[in-house]
Structure 1
Amino acid sequence: MAINFDPIFDGMQNGPEKIKGNFDKVNDGFSWGPQQKFLNLNGMTDNFDYYKIRNDGNEVLITLYVTGDGNGSCYLPTSISKRIGYSLSTQIVGRTDNNGIGFMNINTDTGKCTFHKPDGSGMYIQALVPLV
């Protein structure tokens, strides 16, 4: 079924060009998709954890705040985790509330994310991770 757009653009100077120009601004590849929640949070708070995929598909932005003893875990969808690097594990550095350093390990095969912290304080993670 074909749609006739002529009545929509009738009387609009450069209507189709303006719409295409606006679409190109939004779809430049450098914008980010919507926030998405990690899957199966286990032993973690659910108030500050999300990831976003860049529209061109080249990077994922990971944002987390891990509380407790750090024995919790969560999952990225395997459609994303399998595109992170070429090894079976990727490690991302985080900063604890006590100015220590902790880590988030991502099993790229399963998407499981686990954490290591030197103390019981919260740990912030915010990282841009390239996708292949």
Structure 2
Amino acid sequence: MAINFEPIFSEMQNGPEKIKENFDKVNNGLLWGQSQQFLNLDGLNSNYTSYKIRNNGSEMHIGMYVTGDGRGSCYLPTSIAKKMGNTEIVGRTDNNNFGFMHINIDTGKCTFYKPEGSGMYIQALVPLIEH
């Protein structure tokens, strides 16, 4: 079914241009894409592991809760990992210690290190750059 917009636009001065201007104001790239899950979770609580990419491709938001012993790992798609401008991310454990996640930009593997067996929270904004 086709809709004829011509009668609507003929009544509006610069109708299509105004619609595009309004669309560009809404879609400025600063919105976030859908949450996506990390791949091959090992030692992670899958209920709290996700990342989102900003629509303009400038940064990534990571949110996760790492469980298990002192190490764990997961993978990001290499198409994203290769664009990362930061490969070390700090996390806070349930016992108020610090741990970190290292991201290998060539393989996408994210490896976690924490000093004890409590869970570790990571909330990070990571810049994405073109290599």
Using the size of structure 1 for normalisation, the TM-score is 0.84
Identity %: 72
Query: Post-superposition shift, 1:43?
Result: 2.5
SS at match of 1:24: helix
SS at match of 1:99: coil
Query: Post-superposition shift, 1:6?
Result: 1.4
Residues 92, 16 of structure 1: CA spacing in aligned structure 2 closer, same or farther, 3 A cutoff?
same
Paired AA for residue 56 in structure 1: N
Q: Counterparts of 1:109 and 1:71 in 2: how far apart (Å)?
A: 20
SS at match of 1:80: helix
Q: Counterparts of 2:12 and 2:35 in 1: how far apart (Å)?
A: 36
Query: Post-superposition shift, 1:4?
Result: 5.4
Residues 108, 9 of structure 1: CA spacing in aligned structure 2 closer, same or farther, 3 A cutoff?
same
Q: Counterparts of 1:90 and 1:108 in 2: how far apart (Å)?
A: 7
- What does the per-residue CA deviation read over 1:95-116, in whole Å, with 9 as the maximum and x for residues that have no partner? 1111100000101100000100
Q: Counterparts of 2:14 and 2:34 in 1: how far apart (Å)?
A: 31
Gaps of at least 5 residues in structure 2 are none
Q: Counterparts of 1:62 and 1:118 in 2: how far apart (Å)?
A: 21
Using the size of structure 2 for normalisation, the TM-score is 0.84
Q: Counterparts of 1:121 and 1:8 in 2: how far apart (Å)?
A: 62
Paired AA for residue 126 in structure 1: Q
Gaps of at least 5 residues in structure 1 are none
SS at match of 1:57: coil
Query: Post-superposition shift, 1:19?
Result: 3.1
2:122 is matched with which residue: 114, 122, 125?
Answer: 125
Paired AA for residue 121 in structure 1: S
Moved over 4 A (4+): 7-15
Query: Post-superposition shift, 1:8?
Result: 5.8
- What does the per-residue CA deviation read over 1:23-81, in whole Å, with 9 as the maximum and x for residues that have no partner? 22331111111111111112321101111111111111111111111422111110000
Instruction: Determine if the alignment matches structure 1 residue 27 to structure 2 residue 27.
Output: yes
Q: Pairwise mapping of residues 105-120 of structure 1 onto structure 2 (< 5 A)?
A: 105-120=102-117
